[in-house]
Amino acid sequence: MNLFETPYDVIVVGGGHAGSEAAAAAANLGARTLLVTMSLQNIAQMSCNPAMGGIAKGQIVREIDALGGYSGIITDKTAIQFKMLNKSKGPAMWSPRAQSDRMRFAESWREQLEQTENLDLFQDSVNGLLFEGDRILGIKTQLGLCIKAKTVIVTAGTFLNGRIHIGDKTYGGGRAGEGSSTGITEDLVAKGFSSGRMKTGTPPRVDARSLDFTKMIEQPGDEVPSKFSYTDTRPLKKQRSCYMAYTSQEVHDLLREGFHNSPMYTGRIKGAGPRYCPSIEDKIDRFATKDRHQLFVEPEGWNTTEIYVNGFSTSLPHEVQFKALRKVVGFENVKFLRFGYAIEYDYFPPTQLQKTLETKLIENLYFAGQINGTTGYEEAAAQGLMAGINAALKVKGKDPFILQRDEAYIGVLIDDLITKGTEEPYRMFTSRAEYRTLLRQDNADLRLTPRSYAIGLASQERMERVLAKQEKTDLFINFLKTTSIRPEEVNPILNVKDSAPIQQSMKMFKIAARPQLDFSDIRKFPHVESFIAEHGIDEEVIEQTEIHVKYSGYIEKERNSADKLQRLENITIPGNFDYGKVKSISYEAREKLLKIQPTTISQASRISGVSPSDISVLLVYMGR
């Protein structure tokens, strides 16, 4: 008897951050969806650090939320601390980050998925894919079930042929306490896909009761915490502090004793590791002149004693980890709950994907998350959301949903992956986005909710919130641009701020733009507070208005630059274009263009090895 007689519209393989967002998005767009995972108890598990957001990653979480995803909502519900990073810099660099209650985070995600219409959950291990020629047909499971679907999204995380390493000990596993997944890689390679190996590591978890926090530096959350979601989730009323400790030369010397037994350091693991989140072994080796490194001591939840030792990622033998960590001030009596370990796993170079995250070789098959060579919950969740949206839209015969580089960090992420590929776990940074002044965390809803609403994912309520926010922001900006202020009304404020006094009446907007003034000064201008109260202007609108006042010149300049490059994005390259006919482009460019098969001139220009002169030749050849 076939338990799954009717084919699904979408099957999602894997229940991590990518799989959870993919399944929710597809189901919310009306696609009949099945999420298959090895463990229903570990949905959206925070396998590594118990935190969401950070530099550029926080912008991604806000974009996911603006599009109608759930990562921001779940984070707000389960946060134990919130911080806005980089507040001393310009708003393009502001990045929200929250510490989460790890157990509650997974529990809340499962509850959310169980309440989602059109979504079925099933626990089993997927050990193969079903094909019909160059189309996906469904999945095969460990129980011997064959489940058919119109589209399949693979979000296997670190589980594909995963191996865990602690010193010279190694065993199969996708993460601590869970087995690996076999069969999928082999099926894909047989279909012509290229695969590779990557590695990552995680620090030990320790017992808070064995630590002396009085010897560490307290790291509290923001005095007035914000939140991720644009919906009515509540900011934190109380928070848990993190702490900072330091390694020492003695710690480093003890760690070096085990270097010959570290699989990440000796090269016994062949996969590429994350450059921007190195193991403690790599840090000691690469920064040999530094006599100490920071460790961030992060609680895993409200009511647990489990502590995550951020900055001490390692695959060293367990006895070396124990001896060295006990020499860190505050850790003299540390008790381990779990030793740090390294994991290596299969990935598929993402240049094998289209912009929708559908594979080029097999129609209706999508990849999202660490299978694409990325690292981080946020990057995975963003890819899952986009794959889920596009799989559902394809089933319904609708146009694909693609975000450009000037629209979202998610657009930068996907374009980087499919155009440039990655030879080490890809992590998002603000520096990767050439339009970061446009792609701020504060305006993700203004940028993306209208686009999501147009395809039926973002709700009417979300859209109404965005329209109200934009309307009130425009109203406030117009008030400042049209209302004059006299010298006697403003000069006392300017004198306090060491800003040149005015000699005649001026528009408030021009004075508010001065760098010496912040918005607390502008609120002292006559009639400003009454205007705010009369029109129900909240802190979000005030923030939008202040950013526009201070940075409108920069924003406009970046917008013009993006519009110019968008013209190249509009010049499409026909499918299966014969680059062999274009004799004047370089051999390297021809090789890269044939491999990547860019869909637009703009995408072609971003491929490593394709020069501006190659692009000029292509434009001439295409009659431009």
In sequence order, what DSSP letters do the residues of 441-478 get, joined into one string? GGGHHHHHHHHHHHHT-S-HHHHHHHHHHHHHHHHHHH
- Do 457 and 25 form a contact (C-beta atoms < 8 A)? yes
Domain with CATH 3.50.50.60 in the chain: 8-200+345-455
Q: Which of 98, 115, 12 minimizes the C-alpha distance to 53?
A: 98
- Do 560 and 570 form a contact (C-beta atoms < 8 A)? no
Q: Which of 223, 247, 272 minimizes the C-alpha distance to 84?
A: 223
pLDDT of residue 185: 95
Q: How is residue 219 written in tokens?
A: 């790291």
CATH number for the segment(s) 570-621: 1.10.150.570
pLDDT of residue 276: 59
HSE-CB for 594 with a 13 A CA cutoff = 12
pLDDT of residue 278: 79
Architecture of domain 460-565: Orthogonal Bundle (1.10)
Domain with CATH 1.10.10.1800 in the chain: 460-565
Side chain identity at residue 404, one-letter code: Q
Q: Which of 35, 9, 338 minimizes the C-alpha distance to 176?
A: 338
Angle, CA of 320, 323 and 328, to the nearest 5°: 120
Strand partners, 358: 366
pLDDT of residue 464: 97
- Spell out the CATH class of 8-200+345-455: alpha beta
SS3 370: helix
Q: How is residue 79 written in tokens?
A: 């946060």
Q: How far apart are CA 88 and CA 600, in angstroms?
A: 38
**Look-up: residue for tokens 């229940």?**
15
Model confidence, pTM: 0.92
- Do 128 and 139 form a contact (C-beta atoms < 8 A)? yes
Residues 476-493: pLDDT tens digits? 999 999 999 999 999 999
pLDDT of residue 1: 47
E strand segments, 229-300: 242-246, 294-299
Strand partners, 342: 165, 201
The low-confidence residues of the chain, meaning pLDDT below 70, are 1-2, 262-276, 624
pLDDT of residue 270: 63
Give the Cβ contact number of residue 289 at 10 Å: 4
* DSSP designation for 171: E
Rounded (10°) CA dihedral 57, 152, 418, 445: -40
CATH number for the segment(s) 205-342: 2.40.30.260
- The CA–CA distances, whole Å, from 133 to 117, 194, 474, 544 equal 32, 18, 54, 52
Domain with CATH 2.40.30.260 in the chain: 205-342
Q: How far apart are CA 250 and CA 468, in angstroms?
A: 58
E strand segments, 407-546: 484-485, 506-507
